[in-house]
Amino acid sequence: MKIGHAFLMLALAACSVAAISDRYGNQYGDWYNPGSGFRWQLDLCERQVDAQSTPLVDRKLAMRCCMHAHGVPIDDPQNCRG
C-alpha cells in the first residue's frame, strides 16, 4: 500500500512540473511542452488582460486566447477565432 501512495505522490509532483496555471483556472503545458517554458507568455498575458480592463467573466477565455496568440498550445483554439 505504501508503494501505491508513493507512486501517486510522484505522479502528482510530475504533473505539477509539466503544467502551469493562471489565476483564472487555465492550465498550460503537458509532458511534451512543459509549462515552465511558457512563463513569459503567462506574465505578458496577465498584464495585457489587466491593462485592457477585460470584464471578469471574460478573463478566462481572454487569457487562453492570449496565450494561444503567443504560441502556447491550448485544447480548443477554435474559441479564439472571430
If one counts the domains in the chain, the total is 1
CA 77 centroid distance within chain: 13
5: pLDDT strictly greater than 70: no
Per-range mean pLDDT, top range of 4-8, 10-14, 35-39, 55-59 = 55-59
Given pLDDT bands bounded at 50, 70 and 90, which one contains residue 65?
A: very high
Given pLDDT bands bounded at 50, 70 and 90, which one contains residue 63?
A: very high
Assign 3-class secondary structure to 24-43: CCCEECCCCCCHHHHHHHHH
Range of the domain at 55: 2-80
Higher confidence at residue 35 or residue 59? 59
Burial 37-70 (b: 16+ CB within 10 A, else e): ebeebbeebbeebeeeebeeeebbebbbbbbbee
Residue-wise pLDDT for 15-46, tens only, equals: 445 789 999 999 998 877 788 889 999 999 99
